[in-house]
Amino acid sequence: MAGKAADTTGSSKNNTAEPAAASMADVYNGELTPLQRHVAFFDRNKDGIIYPAETYQGFRAIGCGVALSAAAAVFVNGGLGPKTIPENEKTVAFKLPIYVKNIHKGKHGSDSGVYDSNGRFVPEKFEEIFKKHAHTRPDALTGKELQEMLQKNREPKDLKGWLGGFTEWKVLYSLCKDKDGFLHKDTVRAVYDGSLFERLEQERKSKKESSKKK
Ligand SMILES: [Ca+2]
């Protein structure tokens, strides 16, 4: 009895190679979340992955010193990177890549909640920062008020997340405060929508250009 072995194994031979690594840049084909836009600045070659060298270049481009930029590259990529690696993505861990696509997975605790867990902007939370902490003027924070906010946001036992937020805000404050020591609301808003870094880089470039001409 030669039972007819039905060929049920749908052996669909797929000879086309999987489009693996190249697809990381696809993140830029769709609409970015505000959180993705915020970090995309640091993806200097727009391949969808931020390597430490790019973080370094990005920090330098907005006006941070060599030491801070180098430290940022190690700590930001070391801290965030591993959380953003896509499943079944083979990666060389010591290269500390950050995947723009998955940046929302790298969100740390003790933050202001202005980005939700999907990386979207939450206007109410943004307003809350200034309602709660801007005592001197409604549309800006002093260094002291910033400090107060950071203390309030701190979740117990979350030193790492808190340190991350602390550093981000301190860097922002030192780069962007006005001559009277105020960090303005529209500046902070521009951090969250991702436009501030590009603006800072442009400003620095044009400053350099004008000093060359002299
Ligand atoms: Ca890149």
Within a domain: residue 20? Answer: no
pLDDT at 194: 87
What is the helix (H) or strand (E) element at residue 144, kind and residue range? helix 143-153
Is 139 among the domain residues? yes
How many other C-beta atoms are found inside a 10 Å radius of the C-beta of residue 103? Answer: 24
* pLDDT, position 92: 72
- Those residues whose beta carbon sits under 5 angstroms from the ion ligand 1 are 43, 45, 47, 49
Beta carbons within 8 Å of 199's beta carbon, 6+ residues apart: 190
Q: What domain range is 143 assigned to?
A: 30-205
pLDDT at 15: 46
Residue type, 202: Q
Closest C-alpha among 196, 33, 28, 27 to residue 122 = 33
> Ligand 1 centroid vs 134 CA: distance in angstroms?
37
pLDDT digits (tens, 9 = 90+) for 123-136: 999 999 999 999 99
pTM score, whole prediction? 0.82
Indicate the number of domains in the chain: 1
Answer whether residue 22 is part of any domain: no
Measure 60 CA to ligand 1 centroid, in angstroms: 16
8 in a structural domain: no
| Candidate from 49-58, 62-71, 81-90, 159-168 with smallest mean pLDDT | 159-168
pLDDT in tens, 82-116: 999 998 887 777 899 999 999 999 887 667 789 99
Instruction: Assess if residue 198 is contained within a domain.
Output: yes
